[in-house]
Structures are given as C-alpha cells and as structure tokens.
Structure 1
Amino acid sequence: MDSNITLNMHHCNAYFARNFTFNTVLISVFLCFGVIGNVLVLFLYKYRMPQTEERFFIPYLAVADLMSTIGLACLGITTNFHFTDFPNEDLCKFLPYFAWVTTSWSAFILLMISVSRFLKICRPTGRQMTSFFKKCAVHGCFLFAVINASPLLYFSGFKYSNVSCLNTNMTIVMCDRQEFDNTVNSIRDIYISIEVCIFFLNVVITGALYVPIGLQIFRRFKRKSTNELIRPKDQATSAEREREFSRTDLKGLPVDKEDDMATDETKSENIEMTEKSNDDQPPNTKTTAQKHKLYSRYDRNIKVRNNFTYMFITIIMFYVLSYFPTFILILLERDKPFYFWYSMDINVLNILMTLRRSSVINHIVNPFIYGYFDRVFRKCVVECFTRR
C-alpha cells in the first residue's frame, strides 16, 4: 500500500513537473542572465570605474540582486520539480527565508537611493547623505531584512493535504506555510499581512519621493528652454551672472565640486582646451572662455545627475511592475495552493506561473538598465570584452 501511494505521488509530481517545463526553462535562463549580469556589474563598478557618490549604491544593489536571483531561481526550480513531494523540510524553510531576506534588502536599498536622490535634487542646500551614513544605511537595511524575515523559518515548512490527483486520492507534501492551531495560525496571518503592508509602504514611499524629483527636473528643463545661456555680447549681465555662478559654485550649489561623473578622458580634454585657449587668446577673451568652461561643467553635471535619476526611476518602475503579479498570485493561492494550480489549463498554468515568478525579473534587468543609462559602464563593458 505504501508503495502504491509513493508511486501515485510520483506520478502526480511528474504531472506538475512536466507542465511546469516552460517555467523551469525560463527561470534557468533568468538565472544565467542574472548571475552573469550582476557579477559583471559588481566587478566593473567596484574595480574598473570611478568610485563616485552617484554610483555608491550600485555595487551593493548588485550584490542584493545577485543573491535574490539565486534564491528565487533555486526556490522556483526546486518547487517546480517537487510540487507535491518536497524532499527536505529544512530546505523548505531556508529557501523562502533566503529569498525574502535578499529581495527585501534590494527593496530597502532602492528606498535609500530614493532618499539620496531626493536630498541631492530637491534639497541641495540641506544636509546630504555622507558615504559613512550610506554604508550604515545599507548594512542597517540588511540587518533589518534578516531580523524581519526570521519568522519565516518557523512558519514555513511542509504542508500536508489530502487531494485527488490523476483520479487518485493521496496525501501530498508541499513546501508552503505550515498549519498550526488557531492561535498560531492567526499570528502567522498577521505576520504575513504586516509583510505585505511593509512591501506596499516601501513601494509608496519610494515612488512618492520621485514625484518632487521629477517636478524639479521638469522645472530645470523649463527654465533652460526660456533662459538662454550667457552670451559674450551681454557684458553687464554676463559679469553679474558670473559672480553669482562663482558664489554658487563655492557654496557647492548646485554644482558638484569635483565633477565626479566626468571620465578622466573628458577631464584631460577640458584641461587641454583650456590651456590652448589661455595661450592663444587675449585677457578679455580668457575670462569669457573660463566663464563658458564653468557653465559647460555646470550643464554637464546637471545632465549626468538627471541621467542617473532617470536610471534609478527606471529601476524602481521594473521593481514595482515585476513584484505586483507575484504578490497578487500569492494572495490568490494562499488558501488552497494545490487546487489553484491543478484546476488550470496547461497554457494558463504556465502563464500564471511565469507571472508568479516574475519578481526575479527585477533582479536581472538592472545590468541592462545600467548599460543604457551609464555611458562609462557601457564603455567599460565594451573594453572588458574587446581587450586582448
């Protein structure tokens, strides 16, 4: 009798594993892209690119995304192959815990990035996040994620269900939330509700911080379109604006002191051009050339800062869009996960299971976003693969 039950469970599990084939292959592809992309990002941003304030969070985010990709992919593939006979309860506890810790850490880093961009763009005269404070924030977020997810080690585990699979009644073993007495089940449900609220609150705060950032950038572009840059023929206005610009630059508003986003190549070109203009031009022309150099530097800093803001906005958009389907399906399947998936057509099953695992997209797409927005990163990638 036991052998018949085991054989039936094996057939039932094989049924789901076969139907989940498309999803398993897709997750495997995501895993390859996520590992290669995030390792490349971590290596280039840490060892080959200028260490600037704008890029401070990116290596940490790459580490979180790398671990999240591995955790989510391992959980998804293992579940697909052992949907009704999960092999090990300790593994069932550890995989959801590890995936939740790493994804939460990644989400909290995005929140810290939003706070940093808000202070830099909308509060340039106020206190900024120093490198030390950013490091404390990143490590504090990781510690909070570890503690916050710890109840999963207790609530996760084997869930036994008497079901009818392939016209046979059997008891299956799923990796899900364990069943306890009514009191513990209530505490478990409250904890899950709190986690969902934390997720949505993090999304709302992160998105809300970018609303004034977007408005500030829009106002700057609007002012730039209505007010032309300084022309040499406007001598009186030029002198006044130059003095105003110099005072602003000395105060650190809103020009970056070191032009930290310019590459060494760009800096050397600027120096050579300045030296040539100083040698070949009379004193009055030298002042004009220096003035235009300052404004050129100012415009370049603003463009680079806005470009990085657009990059982080795009990252957060993918974060929101990729996690919403996952949370919705988790809420829909939580009462009877076996029947939720077993009652579906194979095509619908694969579509919904892909949406169920869509959160991994958030952690593999960032390297492509960096490549699109960060010119220095794109150049380093090309050099990395073309260097002999």
Structure 2
Amino acid sequence: MNLETWNSELSHFLIGNNIVLCLYLILGVLGNGLVIFIYVVRMSKKSDDRYFIPSLAAIDACACVIGSSYALALNLLPVRFPGDFLCRALWFLSQSSTISGGTLLLVIAVHRYLKVCRPFVAKWSLTVKRMVVLGTLLTALVLSVPTIFLYGEIKVVSDRYTVGNVSLVGYRCGNKGSAGALFGYNLFLFIFAVTGIVVITICYSFIGKSIYSKVMTYRKSIKRSNVIPPRPDLSVSTITDIRRSKICEPSSTDNEVENGGLPEKPIEQEKGNMFLKIPDQSHQAKRRSHDKLVKANIPAMINHFHHYKYSYMFMTITLVFVIAYLPRIVIMLLESIFVQTFWHKPDSVVVGLLFLYRLYILNHVVNPFIYGFFDASFRHEVKYLICRHKKKPINPDSHTGH
C-alpha cells in the first residue's frame, strides 16, 4: 500500500460532491462573467440601482473560482495536499470572498433602505459608492487574516496502512491552531454573521412596510374613488392625486345616473293592464365596476413590481445568501467545538455535511439567474447576445425601479 492508493481510497466516495463543485465552478464563472460584461459594457444607461451589481458579480465569480477550486483540491487530495503556503492562501482568499459578499449585501440593504424609506436624504455620490465597495473589501481582508495562522498543512499518519513496519504519512489542509483560538474566531464570525443578518432584516422590513403601505393606500384610494390613477407606481404624488380626485368626484349614485346606469330598485312600467318588472341589474353593474377595477389593478401592479424590482431582487439575493451561508458557519462552529471527532463519521454523513458546508458557493452561482428574473434589461441583453441580431432591439426597461 502506497500514499497514492490511500489517497484514492479516501477521495473515491466524494465523486458526487466533486461533480457538484464542477457545476458550481462552470456556472458561476460563466454566469457572473456574463453579468459583469452586460452591466459594464452593454448597459449604456448608468443606473443608481445597478451600481453594486457588477461589484457583487465580481465577488461572486471570485468566490466560485476560489471556493470550488479549493474544495476540489481538498476532495481530490485528502492526504496529498501540495504545501502549507497554498493551504493558508486558499483559506484566506476563500474566507475573504465569502465575507466580502455578505458585507456588500449589508451595504446594499442600507442603500435600498435610504433610497426607498428616506428618499429625501442626500444620495450617495459615485465617490462614496466606490469608497463603500473598497471599505467592504478591506473589512473582509482584515477579518480573514486569522485564517493564515489557524489553518495550514497537517501531517496525517495512517493507522491501517503501512509500508514495511512504518505507517503511511500524508498531508492535508486543515486546522493547525489551538482549539480555543479556532473556537473564538468561529464564534466571532457567527456573531458577525447574525448581526449582519439582523441589520439586513430590519432594513428590508422597513422597505417592505413602506411598499405595503403604499400598496394599501393605492388600493383603498382607487376602490373609494373608482378612478384609474394616471401613474400606478404607488408613489407619493400618485396617492395625492388619487385623494384629490376622490374629493372632487360626485357620489356613486350620481355617477350611475350620469353614465346611464339603473337604480338599485326595480322599475315598474305599465303596459295595458299588466305591470312588467325590469330585472334588477344592480348586481351586474357592481360586477362590471369590480371587473373594471380589477383590470385597472393589473397594469398598476405590473408597474408596481417594475418600480420596486431592484428592492425585490436584492431581497431575494439576500435571502438566498442567508439560507446558503448559515449551514457553513454553524458547521464551522461545531467543528471548532468537537475538533477531534466531528468529521469521524460514516461516509454518507460526511458527504452530506460537506454538501451543506459548501452550499454557500451556490449563492454565488444563482445570483445571475436572479438578475435575469427581475431585470428585463438584463434578459434583453442576454437574448441579444445569443441571437446576434443585426439591429439592437428596443430596450424594454424604459425607467429604473427602486
């Protein structure tokens, strides 16, 4: 038995995990590369709402490359990892890309809150945005420095395989620091992550409350006034116009008479010696009025989602990040508590834990699909690049959202 055979035996049961990592790598690089190209090169209109998307896509692409490559190296070379420096560097870069992505989502949440809930506050200038992105990267780098001292190349001695009377010796990349230091660092990361999630949740709760308030005010206004507002984007001016029109509108009974509607009570007409009742048409009139309001609401709600599409988009991205990242930070915390025994489990359990541990990479992979779902202009550009029309189609995104 030699080291190569031992390494192959340990890595064999991780083939499925390796396939998933390869998909992460390919889709993440292609998807985020397409996002960067389209938003930087193809988009002629520089939108305030889209500013952070290329930066987030660049971080996502780096996270996919570093995270997937590092995980593949750990899977394929469990006892033949090539060098202490490479181990420390990959841990540092992987941690930095993950923290920077989460921190940038926190910055985006604060930016969305100010834009939607505090629109009269001074807008962030281009210089401020650049400094914020740079500060995000520097924060991630500083918070990742401890990994350089906590992780490295570790000697592994086999209890089962020997060459002659000497046990096989391999090398893997893993925790090299003290158990207390590792636990303290992972506990700090856990608190940092939870704090960031709480702040993000508060920001998007206020955003959701603001949007919901405008929706309900809009619906009540058109229901009472029975008029279709000229601007169904639920803005403050729209709601004001609706309220003013409601005051000036005559009563519903007067409207029915003026529009040729029938009164609610049936009318009796004499014809010869018989009285004929004209059927009660108030129900049909109410139904037509209801259908009219429903038809008015459809384009209004479409306009509403277009108006707030970026808020909904970043909410979705953040939710996916939280779902994908929490298993990793929890497993890291448990790993630092049960240093010697945590990974000593059956192969199927280890495969499941590794999948959850690396699920954070999926967040960086699916973001381009989320952009495509919410941003019509992005879909438009993707279709244009695929179809290669001679003339550029008309951009469907006539105005930006919030």
Tell me the equivalent position of 2:84.
89
**TM-superposed deviation, 1:106:** 1.0
Residue 173 (structure 1) aligned with residue 168 (structure 2): no
**TM-superposed deviation, 1:45:** 0.6
Tell me the equivalent position of 2:210.
216
Give the greater-gyration-radius structure (CA).
2
1:26 pairs with one of 17, 20, 30 = 20
Question: Taking structure 1 as reference, are residues 310 and 317 closer, same or farther at Cα in structure 2, changes over 3 Å only?
Answer: same
Whole-angstrom distance in 2 between the partners of 1:330 and 1:14: 26
- Residue 85 of structure 1 aligns to a residue whose secondary structure is coil
Tell me the equivalent position of 1:355.
356
Tell me the equivalent position of 1:10.
4
- Residue 221 of structure 1 aligns to a residue whose secondary structure is helix
Whole-angstrom distance in 2 between the partners of 1:204 and 1:233: 41
Tell me the equivalent position of 1:306.
308
- Residue 227 of structure 1 aligns to a residue whose secondary structure is helix
Q: Deviations over 1:139-195 (max 9, x none)?
A: 111112112212222222023355535799655432112145xxxx54444233222
Q: Deviations over 1:39-82 (max 9, x none)?
A: 00000011112210010100000000000111100110000011
AA partner of residue 108 (structure 2): I
Q: Which moved more, 1:203-212 or 1:315-324?
A: 203-212
Tell me the equivalent position of 1:152.
147
- Residue 310 of structure 2 aligns to a residue whose secondary structure is helix
Whole-angstrom distance in 1 between the partners of 2:321 and 2:113: 18
**TM-superposed deviation, 1:342:** 4.5
Whole-angstrom distance in 1 between the partners of 2:73 and 2:49: 38
Q: Deviations over 1:9-64 (max 9, x none)?
A: 43332122101110011100110000000000000011112210010100000000
Q: Which moved more, 1:120-129 or 1:369-378?
A: 120-129
When normalised by structure 1's length, the TM-score is 0.75
Q: Deviations over 1:331-361 (max 9, x none)?
A: 33336667544431x4333222211210100
Query: Any residues of structure 2 matched to 1:172-321 within 5 Å, and which?
Result: 172-179=170-177, 186-228=180-222, 245=237, 303-321=305-323
AA partner of residue 197 (structure 1): I
8 Å Cα contact 2:79/2:170 also seen in 1: yes
When normalised by structure 2's length, the TM-score is 0.72
**TM-superposed deviation, 1:101:** 0.9
Q: Which moved more, 1:13-22 or 1:192-201?
A: 192-201
**TM-superposed deviation, 1:129:** 2.4
Tell me the equivalent position of 1:143.
138
- Residue 136 of structure 2 aligns to a residue whose secondary structure is helix
8 Å Cα contact 1:116/1:128 also seen in 2: no
**TM-superposed deviation, 1:199:** 1.9
Question: Taking structure 1 as reference, are residues 126 and 387 closer, same or farther at Cα in structure 2, changes over 3 Å only?
Answer: same
Whole-angstrom distance in 2 between the partners of 1:175 and 1:233: 68
Question: Taking structure 1 as reference, are residues 162 and 133 closer, same or farther at Cα in structure 2, changes over 3 Å only?
Answer: same
AA partner of residue 201 (structure 1): T
Question: Taking structure 1 as reference, are residues 121 and 229 closer, same or farther at Cα in structure 2, changes over 3 Å only?
Answer: farther
Tell me the equivalent position of 1:287.
none
**Which residues of structure 2 form unaligned runs of 5+?**
231-235, 242-299, 390-402
Q: Determine which structure has greater relative contact order: mean sequence separation of CA pairs < 8 Å that are 6+ residues apart, divided by chain length.
A: 1
Going by fraction, where is helix more abundant, 1 or 2? 1
8 Å Cα contact 1:12/1:165 also seen in 2: no
8 Å Cα contact 1:155/1:188 also seen in 2: yes
Residue 328 (structure 1) aligned with residue 330 (structure 2): yes
Q: Deviations over 1:270-308 (max 9, x none)?
A: xxxxxxxxxxxxxxxxxxxxxxxxxxxx99885434111
Whole-angstrom distance in 2 between the partners of 1:211 and 1:20: 41
Tell me the equivalent position of 1:133.
128
- Residue 360 of structure 1 aligns to a residue whose secondary structure is helix
8 Å Cα contact 2:96/2:144 also seen in 1: yes
Q: Which moved more, 1:352-361 or 1:9-18?
A: 9-18
Whole-angstrom distance in 1 between the partners of 2:337 and 2:321: 26
Figure out how many residues of one structure are paired with residues of the other and give that number.
322
